[in-house]
């Protein structure tokens, strides 16, 4: 697996030299995609404008076609599988730090609830909604070509508008009669953020309950109601993502990965990995042709 740690590394695959904290595509056809799974350490909004693409995200397969869009958070693992000859998309990448600069609430993106089920959302919407998002991307592209005193603030505002429009579409698509309470949602978001920050050192549910100053029992109750998963399942999902990323580096041994992820042996790590993927870490490396 490849790890693209920043926008520059990712875009260099396409021979694009981008030193900014954001990138908006031209919308032209793309004929080349990374062959290996990779983890995005930035936010992404991708709108399919024609054709279709088969894609694997966090080990789940999806088919995305016209008027569908993907919005993904950092840590999402993506693999492109197959595209139709007429496939076209428009996309935006940006660093969270760029967006929240001068913003008092660091959880502003989380509060938009763009990812009600995890670290990404794939939504099939109407031609009208798709066109609205594309128009904002076109406007963003136009403004990004100009440099003025307030260009950065204008760019940031357009991206905010894009995300809010996207959040509204997702909200309408997922609207149910049982809306989650805001306090519970905030707690879930803080929980998942803590996991991302501490996953290589802490796997105990009690640790995260202590960090959030709540009881273990209450944490289990809230996470179950908010996500449909137990805290332990959420922790394991994040841990598996880290395992995939580390296995993608052929210079790191499986034993080293096991110890880095706080397993007491390579076999313990192997059992965990096989439980969630049905193959061993070494079999995964062979399958993905990851060799030192």
pLDDT tens by residue, 199-246: 999 999 999 999 998 999 999 988 888 777 889 999 998 899 889 889
2-173 and 182-287 in the same fold: no
Alpha-helical segments (H) within 178-288:
182-198, 205-211, 216-227, 231-247, 254-260, 266-277, 281-287
CA angle 138–64–177, rounded 5-degree value: 90
Q: Which of 3-17, 113-127, 212-226, 276-290 has the lowest mean pLDDT?
A: 3-17
182-287: CATH, from 1.10.579.10, 1.10.3720.10, 1.10.10.60, 3.40.50.12780 = 1.10.10.60
Mean pLDDT of 154-178: 82
Q: Is the pTM of this model over 0.85?
A: no
Question: What pLDDT, on a 0 to 100 scale, did the predictor assign at position 177?
Answer: 38
Q: Which secondary-structure segment (H or E) carries 28?
A: none
Mean pLDDT of 110-136: 86
Q: How far apart are CA 144 and CA 197, in angstroms?
A: 32
Q: Which of 50-54, 106-110, 159-163 has the lowest mean pLDDT?
A: 106-110
CATH domain 2-173 topology: Jelly Rolls (2.60.120)
Sorted by where each begins, the domain ranges of the chain are: 2-173, 182-287
132 vs 7: which has the higher pLDDT: 132
Question: What pLDDT, on a 0 to 100 scale, did the predictor assign at position 204?
Answer: 93
**Strand, coil or helix: what is 94?**
strand
263 vs 227: which has the higher pLDDT: 263
Question: What pLDDT, on a 0 to 100 scale, did the predictor assign at position 176?
Answer: 46
């Amino acid at each position: 697996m490849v790890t693209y740690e920043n926008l520059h590394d990712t875009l260099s695959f396409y021979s694009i030299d981008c030193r900014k904290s954001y990138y908006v595509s031209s919308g032209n056809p793309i004929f080349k995609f990374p062959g290996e799974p990779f983890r995005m350490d930035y936010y992404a909004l991708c709108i399919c404008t024609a054709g279709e693409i088969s894609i694997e995200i966090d080990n789940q397969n999806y088919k995305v076609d016209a008027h569908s869009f993907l919005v993904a958070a950092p840590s999402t693992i993506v693999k492109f599988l197959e595209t139709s000859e007429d496939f076209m998309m428009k996309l935006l990448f940006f660093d969270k730090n760029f967006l929240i600069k001068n913003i008092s609430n660091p959880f502003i993106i989380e509060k938009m609830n763009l990812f009600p089920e995890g670290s990404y959302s794939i939504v099939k919407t109407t031609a009208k909604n798709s066109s609205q998002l594309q128009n904002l991307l076109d406007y963003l592209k136009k403004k990004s070509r100009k440099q003025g005193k307030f260009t950065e603030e204008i760019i940031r505002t357009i991206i905010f508008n894009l995300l809010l429009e996207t959040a509204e579409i997702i909200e309408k698509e997922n609207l149910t009669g049982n809306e989650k309470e805001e306090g519970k949602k905030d707690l879930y978001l803080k929980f998942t953020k803590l996991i991302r920050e501490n996953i290589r050192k802490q796997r105990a549910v009690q640790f995260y309950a202590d960090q959030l100053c709540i009881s273990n029992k209450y944490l289990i109750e809230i996470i179950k109601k908010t996500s449909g998963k137990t805290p332990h399942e959420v922790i394991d999902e994040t841990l598996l993502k880290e395992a995939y990323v580390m296995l993608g580096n052929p210079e790191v041994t499986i034993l080293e990965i096991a110890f880095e992820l706080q397993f007491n042996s390579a076999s313990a790590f192997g059992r965990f990995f096989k439980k969630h993927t049905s193959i061993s870490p070494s079999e995964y490396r062979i399958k993905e042709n990851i060799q030192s």
